[in-house]
Structure 1
Amino acid sequence: MNPLDQLHDIVAAGDVGWWPLAWGWWVLICLCVVGLCLIIRSCFRAYARARPRRLVLAELQRPHESLSAINSTVKRGLRMAQVPLEINQLHGKDWIDFLVNTGPNGNSNNFQTQLRAFSDRLYQSNNEESVRRYQALMQQWAAQTRWLYKGGADV
């Protein structure tokens, strides 16, 4: 008898399935889930920190009667943002200096000149045009400043 007749055909192995996954895939999936959770959490936190700014900008869209009413709106937003200064005690030159130093255009002479001109008329009777221009100036300041985020300037 021939010994080769006793041999059987080679049986090919079946395809390798996806399950169960190797431990490396589980680590990768866990890292992706944790990363996604961290991204979602940071988005929610950024949205919550920007709430005072959104409220101030919405309030500045409404018509105001005077320049001091606009200042009150901005100060209220700064208090909501937990600015580490006594905002209510700032007035006159100190308030203008705060706006100039913290605003995005703080070093801009035009921004500083406009603010100083409005500070001279703060407690006088104002016409509608000057209130509208001051309101636009404060909208620009509020839209570009970092102080209207919760936590103040360190954000």
Structure 2
Amino acid sequence: MSILLLAAQAGPELRDIHLPPPPGIWPLAWGWWVLIALGAVALGILVWSLRRRAVRRRRRAALAGAFDTALAGAGDPAARLRTMSEHLRRAARLRDPGAVALRGDAWLRFLDGDDPSRPFSAGPGRVLESGPYQARADAAAVAKAEPLVRRRYLDMTGGR
């Protein structure tokens, strides 16, 4: 027994527990890289959509300005009606090349598009059917049709 006691007492000298250093912030774990990549993609999509919206807004303002300038240059209601009709025909050609050949009610139905209220074929836009081909036009009817034609022109040219 004395040998066991002596061996236990004469053993190696033990040191205190040595802990590893705390983990650093770099290099990041793979989960953080995934979050950074998702954040970068989301930021890219946000920047892209904001730029696209700004371009659309500038395009719409330019188209509206061109339309308004052309109408301001037309003097009497008949000339204003011809100018509106000309701009709508040009815009329709951009949307559907076959629309240039449409006349009468078919042209008005094309201008109505998907609008269930049918503002051209059964509303103030009806003045566009034969009005541009007449020497005189009703000023009140042209004034009622103007905002409708302007909105449809901007929609057809992509100035949404």
Query: Aligning the two structures, in what range does the TM-score lie when normalised by the shorter sequence?
Result: 0.5 to 0.7
Higher helix share goes to which structure?
A: 2
Query: What number of residue pairs does the alignment pair up?
Result: 143
Q: Structure 2 matches for 1:40-119, cutoff 5 A?
A: 40-45=47-52, 53-62=60-69, 63=72, 65=74, 66-79=80-93, 82-100=94-112, 102=113, 106-108=115-117, 112-119=122-129
Pick from 123, 133, 136 the counterpart of residue 123 of structure 1: 133
Is there any run of 5+ residues in structure 1 with no aligned partner, and where? Answer: 151-155
* Residue type of the alignment partner of 1:93: D
Is there any run of 5+ residues in structure 2 with no aligned partner, and where? Answer: 1-7, 75-79
- CA-to-aligned-CA distance 1:22-57 (integer Å, 9 cap, x gap): 223223322332343344445545665677654433
Pick from 27, 34, 37 the counterpart of residue 34 of structure 2: 27
Distance 1:2 1:85 in 2: 103
Asked whether the 8 Å contact 1:142–1:148 carries over to 2, the reply is yes
Distance 2:95 2:118 in 1: 25
Shift of 1:99: 0.8
Asked whether the 8 Å contact 1:57–1:139 carries over to 2, the reply is yes
Q: TM-score, normalised by structure 1?
A: 0.65
* Residue type of the alignment partner of 2:116: N
Structure of higher CA gyration radius:
2
Distance 1:130 1:3 in 2: 115
Pick from 8, 24, 27 the counterpart of residue 15 of structure 2: 8
Q: Provide the aligned C-alpha RMSD in A.
A: 3.5
Identical aligned pairs, as a percentage? 27
Greater relative contact order (CA < 8 Å, ≥ 6 in sequence) = 1
Asked whether the 8 Å contact 1:78–1:87 carries over to 2, the reply is yes
Distance 2:58 2:90 in 1: 12
Asked whether the 8 Å contact 2:87–2:153 carries over to 1, the reply is no
Greater shift in the superposed pair: 44-53 or 118-127 = 44-53
Greater shift in the superposed pair: 38-47 or 7-16 = 38-47
Greater shift in the superposed pair: 83-92 or 67-76 = 83-92
